[in-house]
């Protein structure tokens, strides 16, 4: 692990219980995938982290190069395999617990690497379809910030797990699709690929960003960022969820009802293959 300037085994990493990350979930995090030492979306991931830190008023101004140097060393010390890199900056440790931002406190900077599956290929027979629950999105109104305060997401994720599924897809009060508890969402209908537009209801996912760029450049299928109703999701031919460590996950049932034919769709295979070919 990396903690505040040093590398150490996990068993030696120590953070004070007075850290605001622990007491308030007062911090920003990132997860960046790396395959055999090659990072996916490094620049947009760090851009997003810097935007998040600025938005919540944590003054921590490492450049992209400083992040990259630390991450490369962390990956090397973890064997440079297929790894997710978790980055976390909290507001820091204070002597007392108070809601106001403390003055003169140094942010806590923490990172570790964890094993992830080899990159999905999208080749025939490779799909790992998932089934999901649906739920009303009860999180807060700043979901574009990648905050370490994830209780809303955790509770929604557990809803799906308790129902026997792998994820939960969320819908706002107007019954419009927002995202999954830990991923972004796409639908395909009549060969048109759609995903909700960026606003404060969803995280601006880097997998979403890269996939949109790749599809617009390398596929002839139309791609739209637009409001998507729950009725459209339930009537879609294909539904996919995207995240850094899983890339494109095909959803074959929502609340036990099949999506389209109930099998992984042909466009998922095309899109995941394109993503595999062009993500670096
Ligand atoms: N989750 N939306 C939410 C709420 C997320 O937590 C995530 C990622 C995404 C996808 O973002 P990206 O493509 O940048 O990974 C969307 C991470 C992986 C996590 O919390 O572990």
- pLDDT digit string (tens) for 78-125? 999 999 999 999 999 999 999 999 999 999 999 999 999 999 999 999
pLDDT on residue 33: 98
Phi, psi of 173 (to 5 degrees): -65, -20
Question: Average pLDDT in the 181-194 region?
Answer: 98
Cβ neighbours, 10 Å, residue 258: 11
Residues 22-48 have a mean pLDDT of 98
Residue ranges of domains in the chain: 2-115, 130-278
By C-alpha distance, which of 167, 183, 180, 15 is closest to 88? 15
pLDDT digits (tens, 9 = 90+) for 209-263: 999 999 999 999 999 999 999 999 999 999 999 999 899 999 999 999 999 999 9
Atom 11 of ligand 1, nearest CA residue: 205
Catalytic sites, residue numbers: 146
Q: How confident is the model at residue 277 (pLDDT cuts 50, 70, 90)?
A: very high
pLDDT of residue 233: 98
Ligand 1 site-directed mutation target among 205, 209, 245, most atoms within 8 Å of CB: 205
Options 3.30.1490.100, 3.40.50.970, 3.30.470.10, 3.20.20.80; CATH of 2-115: 3.30.470.10
Q: Please, what is the end-to-end C-alpha distance for the chain in angstroms?
A: 25
Segment 45-59 mean pLDDT: 98
Given a contact cutoff of 8 angstroms between Cβ atoms, the answer to whether 113 and 84 are in contact is yes
Would you state the pLDDT for residue 198?
Answer: 98
Confidence grade of residue 3 (pLDDT, cut at 50, 70, 90): very high
Task: Select the CATH number that applies to the domain covering 130-278 from these four: 3.40.50.1450, 2.60.40.420, 3.20.10.10, 3.90.1010.10.
Answer: 3.20.10.10
Query: Do 119 and 268 contact (CB within 8 A), yes or no?
Result: no
Predicted pLDDT at 240: 98
Contact between 265 and 274 under an 8 Å Cβ cutoff? The reply is no
Taking all residues of the chain, what is their mean pLDDT, rounded to a whole number? 98
Atom of ligand 1 nearest to the CA of 208: 13
CA 273 to chain centre: 20
**Which of the four pLDDT bands, split at 50, 70 and 90, describes residue 271?**
very high
For ligand 1, what atom is nearest to the CA of residue 143? 4
Helix 64-77, helix 42-55: angle, nearest 10: 120
Q: What percentage of residues in the chain have a pLDDT greater than 90?
A: 100
Among 119, 157, 203, which is best to mutate for testing ligand 1, by the most ligand atoms less than 8 A from CB? 203
Place of tokens 């999180």: 139
DSSP state, residue 207: H
Question: What value of ipTM does the predicted structure carry?
Answer: 0.99
């Amino acid at each position: 692990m990396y903690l505040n300037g040093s590398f150490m085994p996990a068993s030696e990493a120590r953070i004070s219980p007075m850290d605001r990350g622990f007491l308030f979930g007062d911090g920003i995090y990132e997860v960046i995938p790396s395959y055999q030492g090659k990072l996916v979306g490094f620049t947009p991931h760090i851009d997003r982290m810097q935007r998040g830190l600025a938005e919540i008023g944590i003054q921590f101004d490492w450049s992209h190069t400083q992040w990259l140097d630390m991450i490369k060393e962390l990956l090397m010390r973890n064997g440079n395999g297929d790894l997710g890199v978790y980055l976390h900056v909290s507001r820091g440790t204070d002597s007392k617990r108070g809601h106001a931002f403390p003055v003169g406190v140094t942010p806590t900077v923490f990172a570790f690497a964890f094993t992830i599956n080899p990159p999905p290929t999208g080749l025939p027979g490779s799909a790992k379809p998932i089934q999901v629950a649906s739920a009303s999105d009860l999180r807060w109104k700043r979901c574009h910030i990648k905050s370490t305060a994830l209780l809303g997401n955790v509770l929604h994720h557990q809803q799906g797990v308790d129902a026997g599924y792998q994820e939960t897809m969320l819908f706002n009060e107007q019954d419009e699709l927002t995202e999954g508890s830990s991923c972004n969402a796409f639908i395909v209908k009549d060969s048109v690929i759609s995903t909700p537009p960026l606003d404060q209801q969803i995280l601006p996912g880097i997998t979403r960003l890269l996939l949109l760029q790749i599809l617009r450049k390398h596929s002839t299928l139309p791609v739209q960022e637009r409001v998507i109703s729950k009725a459209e999701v339930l009537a879609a031919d294909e539904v996919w969820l995207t995240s850094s460590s899983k890339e494109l996950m095909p959803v074959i049932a929502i609340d036990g009802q099949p999506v389209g034919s109930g099998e992984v769709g042909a466009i998922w295979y095309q899109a995941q293959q394109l993503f595999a070919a062009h993500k670096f």
